[in-house]
Amino acid sequence: MGTPLSSDTTTSAAATITTGPIAGSHKHHLVVDHLRVPRRRIELTNGDHLDVYDTSGPYTDDAADIDVERGLAPTRDSWGRPAPIDGASTQLAWARAGIVTDEMRFIAAREGVDAELVRSEVAIGRAVIPANHRHPESEPMIIGKAFAVKINANIGNSAVTSSIAEEVEKMVWATRWGADTIMDLSTGKDIPMTREWILRNSPVPVGTVPIYQALEKVNGDPTKLTWEIYRDTVIEQAEQGVDYMTVHAGVLLRYVPLTARRVTGIVSRGGSIMAAWCLAHHEESFLYTHYDELCEIFRRYDITFSLGDGLRPGSIADANDEAQFAELRTLGELTTRAKAFGVQVMIEGPGHVPMHKIAENVRLEEELCEEAPFYTLGPLATDIAPAYDHITSAIGAAMIAQAGTAMLCYVTPKEHLGLPNRDDVKVGVITYKIAAHSADLAKGHPRAQERDDALSTARFEFRWTDQFNLALDPDTAREYHDETLPAEPAKTAHFCSMCGPKFCSMRISADVRAYAEENGLVTAEDIDRKLTEEMAAKSAEFAESGGRVYLPLEATADR
């Protein structure tokens, strides 16, 4: 099933899709038998290169033939798929059985780790590989604390705004800049059609919140929802290839009144839908009572649970309260039940949390939910900066990822105010790449610092073009530089607009280095010896060699 891509929509998405490599880089593939693992190779002007993790799919590959009406090649269909184990056709079941799947081997190459690490982390449920069999276009990736921190970008139309073509381009655009997964949160018209376009063209796993579409089927009245309507929606989305689904099965009837005294009540849409249903019917949530049936569906496709935190705090005041942690305890119970079916699970987390309450969220999640990967929305470290909530939340996101969160859901500058446009999506993704990478550094991820060192070395050596190209966003870095010093020779000039041509601290540092090397100064002892020996004698020598440095350079700037 699924809506055919060729149906006559009034807008063709084709014209608006962004293709071609990011400045200064090109697609490179690690070839492991029949697996072609994508990397982005950044070529440097000194002849070196740096390969970085690449989420952008074929869109940045000059050799690829992109046709969004046809969709991406269903590459994973040609890979081997092991037989189901106890009815579970999932990465978790296979990992437990000691089987290293092609997806695991692909991921191992992609992350630069041993395939056995991938298998074992999946087997104990500390990592997930969201990979619905019906989404063969996706390039496998892993979410788990032992691996690079991942980020998700939410896209999706609402009743008020946006078209299908825009949403597909947002997906391509978000993955171009580094989104590891995307969630289609459409709530308006054409939900199935939008999703089909996104799935057939998405190189990354796609997540959804099926209750949104189910709600549309009952004209927006949560009290009219039924298990059957929900189940059919899940199956429809499963058949289309959705890789993970947010399920707010932890919003139990008895937890709902715990939110009554909150400053911001229930802010999760899914959570409030289920709260409304529970209160109206005075029955336990059908997501909870029918949870085992859901597990049976999920294990057929290998859909990963993203157990939603429907009672997450929507303000600093509500962080870490009883409503939030009561639900978390239930998510722990649901984790155990899903894993008994061989279904992969991750746990969604807050929201709004002041810095001093962040670590407790990770600690409790790990304790209550068998260390299932934590997937948090920010959290925002303060409520007072709407229009800058990508920043308020990047602070919380970096900290919660350092503490062990495996995936961060981005927040854009439009959070709380409106739907993100193309620019907002890019800013959100880059901001979250910063948070994720900062956490990788802090966690000592073995290869994370390579890129920092390469960029800082380029900066120190005045290789401006390399500095731009090694940046998360080369285009904006170059643009900002060119605002002050637009002339092309300034790209190789040994100064910048901060100090001007007459004086530059980086140049002095280069002199210090040359001096130390010429004089064999390596350790502090060398230096003490040298200073004692030559305190006065060396003065003239250095003044001579150093004097050269402070001659004004040719004025290469545009003024």
Is 499 known as a binding-site position?
A: yes
DSSP reduced 3-state for 116: helix
Sequence-ordered list of residues with C-beta below 8 angstroms from that of 297, at least 6 positions apart, any chain: 231, 234, 235, 238, 303
Shortest CB 168 distance to its own copies, Å = 20
CA distances from 450 to 27, 142, 453, 497, 523 (A): 19, 21, 5, 27, 25
Is 34 strand, coil or helix?
coil
Chain centre distance of CA 282: 38
How many Å apart are CA 457 and CA 468, to the nearest integer?
A: 12
Distance between CA 422 and CA 168 in Å, rounded? 11
CA distances from 68 to 5, 16, 291, 480 (A): 9, 10, 36, 33
Amino acid at 4: P
Q: Is 310 annotated as a binding residue?
A: yes
| Residue 303 vs 429, nearer CB to its own copies | 429
Length of the chain: 559
Q: Is 255 annotated as a binding residue?
A: no
Residue 432 and residue 394 in contact, taking contact as beta carbons nearer than 8 Å: yes
Tell me the two tokens of residue 383: 């409520």
246 versus 272: smaller Cβ distance to its own copies: 272
Paired tokens of 274: 């289920």
- In one-letter notation, the amino acid at residue 10 is T
In the chain, the amino acid numbered 81 is: R
Amino acid letter for position 433:
K
How far is residue 109's CA from residue 40's CA, in Å, rounded to a whole number? 14
Q: Was 295 annotated as part of a binding site?
A: no
CA dihedral 406, 51, 36, 204 (to 10 degrees): 40
- 299 vs 437 by CB, closer to its own copies: 437
Q: Quote the CA–CA distance of 390 and 370 in Å, as a whole number.
A: 30
- Find the shortest distance in angstroms from Cβ 244 to its own copies: 21
351 upstream amide cis, omega within 30 of 0: yes
Alpha-carbon span 67 to 172, nearest angstrom: 13
In the complex with its own copies, the residue whose CB is nearer, 90 or 259, is 259
494 appears as a binding residue in the annotation: no
CB nearer its own copies, residue 72 or residue 477 = 477
Instruction: Judge whether 63 and 69 are in contact, CB under 8 Å.
Output: no
Element (H, E) at 318: none
Q: Smallest distance, Å, CB 415 to its own copies? A: 9
Closest distance between its own copies and the C-beta of residue 138, in Å?
Answer: 26
Nearest to 194 by CA among 229, 158, 228: 158
Kindly tell me which of 233 and 344 has the beta carbon lying closer to its own copies: 233
Q: How far is the CB of 87 from its own copies (least distance, A)?
A: 35
Nearer to its own copies, 386 or 489 (CB): 386
In 3D space, the residue among 328, 225, 337 whose CA is nearest the CA of residue 283 turns out to be 225
Report the amino acid identity of residue 97: A
Query: What are the start-end ranges of the E strands in 93-184?
Result: 127-128, 143-144, 150-155, 181-184
Q: Which is nearer to its own copies, 16 or 315 (CB)?
A: 315
Closest to its own copies by CB, 12 vs 161, is: 161
The least distance separating its own copies from the CB of residue 337, rounded to whole angstroms, comes to 23
Closest distance to its own copies from the beta carbon of 393 (Å): 10
- The residues near 239 (Cβ < 8 Å, ≥ 6 apart) are 1, 2, 134, 301
Strands 407-409 and 374-377: parallel
156 vs 332, beta carbon nearer its own copies: 156
C-beta of 348: minimal distance to its own copies in Å? 15
Question: Quick one: which H or E segment has residue 39?
Answer: strand 35-43
Minimal distance, residue 452 CB to its own copies, in Å: 4
- Closest distance between its own copies and the C-beta of residue 459, in Å? 7
Question: Nearer Cβ to its own copies, position 144 or 413?
Answer: 413
Return the percent helix, strand and coil in the chain, to nearest 5: 45, 10, 40
Give the shortest CB-485-to-its own copies separation in angstroms: 7
CA dist 178 and 425 (Å) reads 11
Q: What is the DSSP letter of 196?
A: H
Q: Which is nearer to its own copies, 215 or 287 (CB)?
A: 215
Encoding tokens for residue 341? 């079916």
**Mode of pairing for the β-strands spanning 181-184 and 150-155:** parallel
* Binding region: 154, 183, 212, 248, 268-270, 309-312, 348, 352, 375, 416, 496, 499, 504
* Binding region for Zn(2+): 352, 416
* Binding region for [4Fe-4S] cluster: 496, 499, 504
